[in-house]
Structures are given as C-alpha cells and as structure tokens.
Structure 1
C-alpha cells in the first residue's frame, strides 16, 4: 500500500503539533549523566564530545521464541549493512545498520505489516535526510524524519484493510550511522546500551505505571484502570489500535509519537540490547547487560548471546513471547583460561635433632 498525499499531509500536521523542539531538550541532559554524549542534546557540543574517532565494527545476532503463548506476535528486523539495502540514500563508506522489534497485540497482523513494509515506511515514503555531513542540522532532520515515519506507519495501519482496528503493535527502532546511534520507541520494548559494563537505558517503558505517561494520559482525558489504559491496553503508546484513536484527528491518550534518543558512540560502548517486554518483565537492564558481557568474553558470538537472553527469560518464567537482538560495536577482550599452576609449599629448616627424630619415626624406631 502506498501512503497517499492526504495521509502524508495528515501526518505532517500531527507531527508539527506533537513534536517539541529537540534543541530545547538539552536542559534534560542531567537525566543521562552516564551517557557522555547525550542523545537529547544534538547541538555542536554533542557531536564534538567524543574526541577519539571511534568507528564501530557492527555485528549482531537475534533470537525469537513463542514462549508459553499459543501464538507468536513478536517480529524483528536485523540489518547490519543498511547501505546495501538503500543504495544511494546511505553513504556506503560509513557504517550503517538498522534494527527493530515489534510486539503485537490483538493479533499478529499489525506487527507483521510494519515489519514487511519497514524499509518503505522508515526510509522511502518521505524525504530521508541525505547523509552529506553528520552535523547538528542533519541530526535534527534525522530525528524529525524518524518521528514522522512512526506517524506515517500508524496512518498506514488505519488504511490497511487486512489489519483489524483492534490490532496494534509497539515499535522500537535502532539506527546506526557512523558513530551515531538513534533509538526511537513507542511502547514497552526496551533498548539498553552497555558502556564499560554499566547498563545505560536508551528508552523508557511507555506503560501506565510510568508516571510521566500516566500524567500525559490523564491530561488528555484518559484513565488508568488496574494498570491498563482506559481499562483496555497495557501500554500507553503504540501503532495501530485505531478503535481507540478514531475519528482521525481526534485527541487520544494512546499515541504513536515515539521518544527519540541519540548518542555519539565511543570505544566505551560495547553493545546494545533491544528486546520485547517478555525479556524485560523478568530481568533488569543491568542483569541482561552483565549476562551478555560475560557471554561475549567467552565466545564473542552475539547470536549465542541473544539465545542465552531468551533462555534465561524462559528459566525465569516469562509469560510472554520472547525476542532479543544483541548488536556489538567492538570486539571484547577475551577472558583467557589460566593454565593450572603447581601448588607451592613453604619450606622450613629442621634442626639436626629434629631431622634425626623424624628419621627415627619414619623407620619405626
């Protein structure tokens, strides 16, 4: 399905009304003290914070499992070389990659549709900014384009006859361009960066229990009932679910507008984990980071790491579908097993009398 010009105009109107000026978000940098080059300050200072010209070496692995559910509603995308898919849109001399996880609800159709049309929806249906020079202007345009892509994808679901109006999906995307990482999230999937072994959360869980979201919902006339938005949905942001958003243009507490965070990657940034809520319902961000870091030092295989995350979530009795992607930015230092050492005993000097007594005892005298 091609998004009509009318839908594009509607998305543009929604975008202009919903998007705050990203440059003003620089006052919130203190929330991310652990991130040296904070995403939400995308002025010149953010670009220049990383003195060392670190170039990520991108490798990834993924694992998805139905878990204890009767049907699989998770989907994911893993593209380590984005330029090979998009051609001239992306500079082939620069590392580029795109990853996404989709957690469907009310059926699998919405998540499957967004996955199948992701390249068009996120890069082709509008003017994706040309990568000539990664500066503050480009990063602002990149963030704006990604926000608009979420809104266009939401409108596309409204117009897609094969997707029920009661069907929806959460979406989290991670885009790497050179040393820059952009994470956009609408829903309760999560992205966690490992920085020198410490977990740095690159997304917020859009759930009724998250106070800023609860406040936003209530200000828009919605309510929280037993942990559910309007007594119906366990997330406060999602694509689709148009039975909660109609008529088009009306104010709904359920929105598709993503939160977007950007950082400049450095040699301290080891890997990124993104996963659906089936993973995060049973383990903390730091637990997941520590598990993956140990595993990488053993075998340096992100695919195996993703499997270990899913297996651990299963062991911890996750009740949901399970999807995890591990994206490595560098090769970890291997922990070499040390060869066994001979035990050393402290020697002592015996007197002549003691030696004679010991000899006598040994000879049975």
Structure 2
C-alpha cells in the first residue's frame, strides 16, 4: 500500500445503487441502458472477483524535494467572479487482477503542500492517476517524481505546458537510467494541474479525465489506444505495427512511460511514445467536478454515465470520496477485468444545484442524460 493511504474493511457488493438509477437524474430522466449481461465472450471468461481491501486516499505523502522560496500570488483583492475551492476523494481497488499496479497522487492545496512562500500561483492543486503494467516499479516512480520534474523545470511557471511536457520526457528517461527498476515495467500517466482557474490535463495512455459541467460530460483527454486512427498512423509511420489492437502485438496502449524493453535509445523516435497530449480549460461556475480514472472504469462505463452518477451522489451527500467508492462499486458490478482507480475533484464546497427543466406541453421522450449525450455529439460535429 502506498504512503498516504489508509485501509478499510473489504468492499461489500450490496450497494443500493442500481444501474437503472444511473440513467436518471434529479426528477425523472428516463432509465439509461442496463449493462449487458453477456457483453462479449471474453466477459464471460473473466477471472473470479476476489474480495480485497479497498484503498481510500486521504492525503498524499510529501515528496522529498526542495523548492527553495517561491512567491505566493493571490487573486487580486476585491476581484469578483468564480474561484475554485478544491476538495477531492479517491478510491482504488485491485479488482479481479492478481496484483495491484495502479498508483495515484492527490494534492488539494499545492501552496501548503510545497510550503511555497514566493512567486507561486494560488490557489493550486495537483492530481494524477498512473496505471502500471509489467510490475509496479514504473507507476511508483512516476507518482513519486512527476510533480518534482514539473516544478523544477526551467519553464515553470512561465510556460506550464512546456514544463509538463518536459517533465513527462524527463521522468521517462529517468526510468531508463535507473539500475534498480525493472526496465520492462511501464505505466500510463494522467495528471491535472490547476493554477487559479486554469485546469491543464496531460495524458499519455488510456486513463481518462472527464469534466462534469452542469450534468454534462466533457472529455478532457483522449484514450491512446493502438487501434485509434491517429495513433495507428503515428505508430506505422515510425515503423511499428498494430496487431489485434496491440502495439507490436505486445501492449494495449499507444503511449506510456517506461517499457524500455520496447523502446530504442533515449531521444530516438519510437512507436511507443511518452509524450503527453495536453488540454487546457478555464474553470467557470458551471464546472462542478472532475473525474479521473484508469481504464478499468471506462472499459465498462461511459463518461456521461459516470458524470450523471457522480452528480446525483453529490446532491445526496456532497462527499467526493463516497462518489469514488460508488463508481468503483458500479464498475465491479459491470464485471470490469482490471484494477480500478478513480478520483473525484470538486470545485465548490457546495453540492451541485438541482437542474430545473421548464415544463412544456410536449412530453419529453428522452432523459436529461440523453440530452447531454445528444448535445455533445452535435457540438463535436460543428
């Protein structure tokens, strides 16, 4: 178990939250689709689920590096408008896998965490989900070092995007240089750095970040799967191949840190890339929470379903950690085949407000969740 986590009794699968309830929001959206009982032949052959200890991150262990003196830049005095207040919860579960290879980091207050005193944007927060494979070495190393590489980069904080990209490459090269870590170990990496109202998502792999915007799911990262058209073209251009959805027939992701048994020399172009894709969002009052999760969640649950479920839970108890637990429970009910890690980050101390839908003479035949999905599809085509 990683530092900064605490254990709890085994997860009991007797939740009152049913799949039917996820499809409705507030006062009566139509029922959403039930999970398929025989989704594929592969699903029926999944290993049996074992009761295991569920991990709840309460606080993150302080990383061992010295920042010197950093300046604290507070919001302008008397400035009006929305300023986020960060609070979060996280839940990790081994699932049906024999070993737990996920890691995560959760920091709601960067200024306090880094003991910053000069020249540092405030408020600030940092979160990360790291889905390891081939052992836990790479995921642990990235978790413990990625923030250090970002903060210590020469471009931080003047150009945060450059600093984050550099940090991903540097930590990848550090994995190659280490003599104590397994070179065949690798990890995907999804991070969220929030400074003032700027949310910057960086992703390399198939973890996913989803923003809850007044009940609508906004995906802030792309799943880097080898059979994705853009990734396939990049892989084949660099001499790699995609076989049955696997990069060079070996790896189910197109981007990852580590895995140096599959990469060439440092700095050379490689089909397996450690370079992250970045997306920046300026948070507003409509942005209620962020969900960050590994593919064990998204393999069995849509982004909109997760947002709908989380919003409904927050309206009931306003506890992001309970929301994380419910998302994990639902993924297990849907027979996920992987480790599970999910994080819910709220941007306000208050629960989401109820969405009032004006009454019309024409009866709706689509749920609110369905309306959000339709609106997202139309926006994507614009």
Shorter-chain TM-score: what band? 0.7 to 0.9
Kindly indicate whether residue 335 of structure 2 is the aligned counterpart of residue 308 of structure 1.
no
Q: Equivalent residue for 2:19?
A: none
Deviation at 1:93, TM superposition (A): 7.4
Q: Equivalent residue for 1:5?
A: none
The CA distance in 2 between the partners of 1:89 and 1:157, in whole Å, is: 31
Q: Equivalent residue for 1:339?
A: none
Deviation at 1:53, TM superposition (A): 2.3
Q: Equivalent residue for 2:85?
A: 57
Q: Of 154, 159, 173, which residue of structure 1 is paired with 2:177? A: 159
Q: Equivalent residue for 2:292?
A: 274
Q: Of 73, 91, 94, which residue of structure 2 is paired with 1:66? A: 94
Q: Equivalent residue for 2:277?
A: 259
Q: Of 248, 252, 257, which residue of structure 2 is paired with 1:234? A: 252
Residues 323-343 of structure 1: CA deviation (Å, up to 9, x unaligned):
0000001222466xxxxxxxx
Residues 128-186 of structure 1: CA deviation (Å, up to 9, x unaligned):
524xxxxxxx4xx1101100000001001001112222110000000111111000000
Structure 1 residue runs without a partner (length 5+): 1-50, 131-137, 336-365
Contact 2:146–2:168, Cα closer than 8 Å, also in 1: no
The CA distance in 1 between the partners of 2:218 and 2:325, in whole Å, is: 21
Contact 1:90–1:96, Cα closer than 8 Å, also in 2: no
CA RMSD of aligned residues (A): 1.9
Q: How do residues 80-159 of structure 1 correspond to structure 2 at under 5 angstroms?
A: 80-88=108-116, 94-124=122-152, 126-130=153-157, 138=158, 141-159=159-177
The CA distance in 2 between the partners of 1:93 and 1:189, in whole Å, is: 27
Deviation at 1:118, TM superposition (A): 3.1
SS of 1:297's equivalent in the other structure is: helix
Moved over 6 A (4+): none
Q: Equivalent residue for 2:218?
A: 200
Residues 100-126 of structure 1: CA deviation (Å, up to 9, x unaligned):
0000011111001111223322322x2
SS of 2:193's equivalent in the other structure is: strand
The CA distance in 2 between the partners of 1:82 and 1:122, in whole Å, is: 13
Contact 1:80–1:98, Cα closer than 8 Å, also in 2: yes
SS of 1:62's equivalent in the other structure is: strand
The CA distance in 2 between the partners of 1:313 and 1:326, in whole Å, is: 15
Q: Equivalent residue for 1:340?
A: none
Deviation at 1:193, TM superposition (A): 0.3
Kindly indicate whether residue 210 of structure 2 is the aligned counterpart of residue 182 of structure 1.
no
TM-score (norm 2): 0.69
| Count of aligned pairs | 276
Structure 2 residue runs without a partner (length 5+): 1-78, 355-382
Deviation at 1:76, TM superposition (A): 0.3
SS of 1:102's equivalent in the other structure is: strand
Task: Give 1 or 2 for the bigger CA radius of gyration.
Answer: 1
TM-score (norm 1): 0.73
Contact 1:278–1:322, Cα closer than 8 Å, also in 2: yes
The CA distance in 2 between the partners of 1:254 and 1:95, in whole Å, is: 35
Contact 1:82–1:90, Cα closer than 8 Å, also in 2: no
Residues 42-90 of structure 1: CA deviation (Å, up to 9, x unaligned):
xxxxxxxxx9721011110000000011100000000000111223377
Name the one with the larger helix percent: 1
